[in-house]
Structure formats: structure tokens, C-alpha cells
Structure 1
Amino acid sequence: MNAAKKIRLGKILGAKSQRAVIVPIDHGLTMGPLEGIESTGRIARWIHHPGVDAVIAHKGILSRLAAHGALDRKGVILHLNGMSNLSDSVDDKEWLTSIETALLLGADAVSLQVNFNGRNDRANWKMVGQAVDGAARYGLPVLTMLYDKVGEEPQRVRRLKQLMRTAVELGTDALKIGMGERPELLREALEDVQSDVLVFVAGGELTGDEPLLEHVSHALRAGAKGVCIGRNIFVKKNLEQFLERLSGLVHGGSARGEREIALASVR
């Protein structure tokens, strides 16, 4: 990893923990004005929380949040692709911006999402390869959000391992993957790849605080470098309290974290 990438990742990862709480808010392009991200003004009310290490968003939202002063001391990740769920092919993400736009916005990294449905592998891998090549010219780290919509366990684990390895082969610096329901399967999925790439786990379907924090705890023990959670953060009524707990868990700080999870697991 070159110096530019290390410097930029240093704005995203905790200095001591080398982990991060990343909050994607790119959902608006796909799903519209969800609760918590109805407008940039609404986002600006909570995104400043110190528990948020980095933000992923599309170019229009990043520029407006910057105008609000809401991105100060945050890692900034520009999302490169997407597709509205009003489309009949929401899994087929399209390029929507450029690497150069990330530089103009002062982004520390770029991200893209690839959903595999068994029909779009060719286009997905071409997109990842192009993103990595373009970002490498400027020392920008690349986060690949990787979702597999084919197969069931244990086939899904074998497929996920192969998909992650392909992304590593193409040069991605970080991956976002789903947590899954069984901790041992996540451990198996990460055992070979975690030394080559930073892995962050998604929040998945909307769930309560305790189950989510327990899932995060399992993921960290399996080798994940943190979380990349959107809806399970920004729709919460107790958002600031939850962010404090989540950040404490991810960074191993004083915000209750592991101690609470251990107590909850024996109740």
C-alpha cells in the first residue's frame, strides 16, 4: 500500500484500533428519502456524532453536507455507482460519477456496490477492475460492497469466499459483506481473506440494538475491521446512544461494548 492510501485510510480507521464505524447514506438514490436521511439538513443533525468515523454518500449529498459543515473530522467516501429500485434491474448498478469527482470533493476513498444475481458477473467484475485502476492512479482506497444473491448455505459461504478472493485479485482495498446468521460461517468466510483486505460487515435487515451489537461482536472476533451500517443506525430513535455503544464495541473503548454483550449472552 502506497503512502497516499495509508494517509487516507488513516482518516477513516481509528489510530489505535485500526477499525472503523462507517455509515453509508447512499440509500436515498436507491430507495428515496428514508427516515433519518430525508434531507441533508436532517442528516447533518446526527452525522456529526463522534461515533461515526466515516460516511459513504453520492456526490450530491456529500457536497451539500460539506456546505453544512457536517463532514468535519470525518472520513469521506464517494459512492461511484447505483440504481433506483424503481428500475426492473436494481441489481445492475451503473457508473454514476468519476474518480476525478472524488478528488474534487476531497474524498478519502471511493466505494461501489456489486450485487451478484447469476447473470451480471461479467459487468460487475469489469466495474470493480475499472474502479481499482482509476483509483490507483491517485492513491485512493477502494471499498467494494459485495452482495451475493445466489445459493444457500453452505454453498453461499463457498461462493462468498470465491467472490471475495476475486475482488482481492482485482485489487480492492476493503470489502463490505453481510454478517449472516451463524457466527461460525462468518469466521470460516473470513479466515483466508482478512490478512489481504479490510472487511467491514453490513447491518442487514432492521433489528434491535442487542441482536445487532451481538452480531457485530461476533464479526469483530471473526476478524472484521468494523462495520458499514446504514439503516440500522439512521432510523433509530435512540441514535446517539446507539452510536456511542457501537463505537465503544468496535474500538474497544469505554462505551459499554463487549461487557454488555457478554452479560446479554448469559441472560
Structure 2
Amino acid sequence: MDGVAKKIRWSRFLHRYSGRGIIVPIDHGLTIGPVEGLDGMAQVARWIRHPGITGVIAHKGLLERLVSRDLLRGVGIMVHLNGMVSMASEPNRKERLTSVEAALRLGADAVSVQLNFDGTNDGHNLTQLGAVVDEAQRHGLPVLTMLYDKVECPNVEQQLVRQRHLMRACVELGTDALKLAVPAQLTQVPTLMQGIQEHTAVFFAGGTVRSEEEMVETARTLVAYGASGLCVGRNVFQREWRSTLAILDRLQEVVLEDADAGAPAEWPHAVGESA
């Protein structure tokens, strides 16, 4: 990631010592409507200030409402730039809904786009990402690409080849970070990230709600394979709120488990302060 401004802003999404993060996307309402866990500010307020959350992704309208209630203090803020309602005739064709400049005016530290490749919209997706990256670079904002391949392949190997090609295309166009679905076989993760994780942050989605134990073990494996962290929504907020706090506690321990490894044993006194 080049540029001082980008590096400073991106650092707000990562833990200071582990260099990894837990980013929670809450952009689901535009796509699928009212969602349990996001249906009201009171629900969101129960969990969004958990110390394990390093960043939040939201559409501009929800972001304004969260900030007005002082619910996003101390986390990286990412504005999601595109989207489409699930009831549309082409739900995989995500359209630009706002600009990088508008995100910057809202105080964003980064922006994100979602690209669903369904075999008919490749040009639309790549053109949109290229334009977003150009716009973001002018303002020194990092770009995260949520990349989903919707094309069914006859076998796992071909699916992996397609996914790596799409990842490389996003990197070639200048994305700074990727959000990917967890592959069906976790042993594919090293191959998936080979040559990419050296220069591009790779976060993994949580997908549909799974058991707490399965989510935690998956996170542990992903971190061991070198993932930058998690970008997980429904597996956080679509639980009874006490369970949400419990899984965030455990994910924080797993994803940021070596967070204290780089901390000095004793913090130095401020200049002029007596010992």
C-alpha cells in the first residue's frame, strides 16, 4: 500500500500490534432489507463498541446515523460505494451509489465496493473498480474490494483458478485489500492467497450464520494461514446480543491473539514527567 495518507488511514482498521483486524460490514440493509441485529440503533448499540472490532463498513446514510449517536468512536470507518437491492432484475449488477469525495466528507478512512461476477457483468465490474481506485488515489483513501464469484464450475480446481484470476484482476486495477468468501476446503486458502498476501491485505467473510465453535475454529485456521483478518457481519450481529458479545470476545482472542507481543513491557514516561 503506497502513500503516507493511505497507510495512516488503513492502520485504523488493524490492531496496533498484531497487524490484523476484525472489520464488521453492516451494509446488508440496502441489499436484503431490515435485518435482525441491524433493525434499530438500540440493537446496534449493544455490540458495535466492542473492543475487538477494528473497523466498520456501512452505507452513507446508516453511517451518519451511527456517528450522530457516537457509536463509531475509535474504529476505522469505511463507506460502501455501490449496491443493489436483492429484488432487482439483476441483483448481481452492483451500481455506484455515491462517490469517494462524499465518503471523505463523511470522515471515511477507506471505501469499499462489492463485485459479484455472474458471467455477464465482467466489464461492468472491472470498469467500476478501476474508476473507484482512480478516484480514491486522488484523495489518499484505501479501497477494499468484496469479491464474489457466482459462476458455478464443474470442480473445485476450476473454481480456484477462476477465483485467483479475479483476485489478480482486482490487484492489477489497484485495490488495496480483498474480502473473500471462505473456500469450501480450508486447505485451499494458502493456494488462494499465494502471491497475493505479500502485497494485498486479504480478509475473509463469515458467510451464513454458523455455530460459534465453527466460526472460531475457522478464524483460527485462516489466521494461521496468514489472513489479514475477518470481515464478518451476520456471524456477529445475527445472534442474541449476549451471544454477539461472546463470539466477539473469542474472535478478538483468536485474530488478535498476539496483540501484546509487540507492546513494550513498560511504557516510557512522557518527556519531563518524573519516574
Could you tell me how far 1:149 is from its partner in structure 2? Answer: 1.1
Per-residue CA shift, 1:44-90, capped at 9, x if unaligned? Answer: 22211111110000000000000000000011000000000111211
For 1:215 and 1:45, the matched residues in 2 are separated by 25
Is the contact between residue 9 and residue 141 of structure 2 (CA under 8 Å) also seen in structure 1? yes
Could you tell me how far 1:175 is from its partner in structure 2? Answer: 0.1
Q: 1:82 — aligned with what?
A: 83
Q: 1:170 — aligned with what?
A: 173
For 1:239 and 1:233, the matched residues in 2 are separated by 5
Amino acid at match of 1:33: P
| 1:158 maps onto 2:161 in alignment | yes
| 1:203 maps onto 2:195 in alignment | no
Secondary structure (helix, strand or coil) at the match of 2:139 reads coil
Gaps of 5+ in 2: 260-275
Tell which deviates more after alignment, 70-79 or 176-185. Answer: 176-185
Secondary structure (helix, strand or coil) at the match of 2:91 reads coil
For 1:159 and 1:231, the matched residues in 2 are separated by 26
**Relative contact order higher in (CA < 8 Å, ≥ 6 apart):** 2
Per-residue CA shift, 1:127-155, capped at 9, x if unaligned? Answer: 11011000000110000000001124111
Show the 5 A alignment for 1:255-266. none
Q: 1:260 — aligned with what?
A: none
Q: 2:269 — aligned with what?
A: none
Q: 1:261 — aligned with what?
A: none
Amino acid at match of 1:202: A
Q: 1:225 — aligned with what?
A: 228
1:179 to 179, 182, 186: 182
Could you tell me how far 1:20 is from its partner in structure 2? Answer: 0.4
2:249 to 232, 244, 247: 244
Could you tell me how far 1:253 is from its partner in structure 2? Answer: 4.9
Structure with bigger gyration radius:
2
Q: 1:30 — aligned with what?
A: 31
Amino acid at match of 1:140: L
Per-residue CA shift, 1:93-130, capped at 9, x if unaligned? Answer: 00000001111110000000000001100000001101
For 1:132 and 1:138, the matched residues in 2 are separated by 10
For 1:40 and 1:137, the matched residues in 2 are separated by 34
The number of aligned residues is 254
For 1:105 and 1:44, the matched residues in 2 are separated by 20
| 1:102 maps onto 2:107 in alignment | no
Tell which deviates more after alignment, 113-122 or 236-245. Answer: 236-245
| 1:130 maps onto 2:131 in alignment | yes
Amino acid at match of 1:60: G
For 1:172 and 1:138, the matched residues in 2 are separated by 14
Secondary structure (helix, strand or coil) at the match of 1:207 reads coil
For 1:190 and 1:222, the matched residues in 2 are separated by 9
Secondary structure (helix, strand or coil) at the match of 1:227 reads strand
Moved over 4 A (4+): none
Q: TM-score, normalised by structure 1?
A: 0.93
Q: 1:60 — aligned with what?
A: 61
Is the contact between residue 135 and residue 142 of structure 1 (CA under 8 Å) also seen in structure 2? yes
Tell which deviates more after alignment, 194-203 or 152-161. Answer: 152-161
Q: Alignment identity in percent?
A: 46
Secondary structure (helix, strand or coil) at the match of 2:14 reads coil
Tell which deviates more after alignment, 42-51 or 18-27. Answer: 42-51
Is the contact between residue 25 and residue 55 of structure 1 (CA under 8 Å) also seen in structure 2? yes
Amino acid at match of 2:190: R
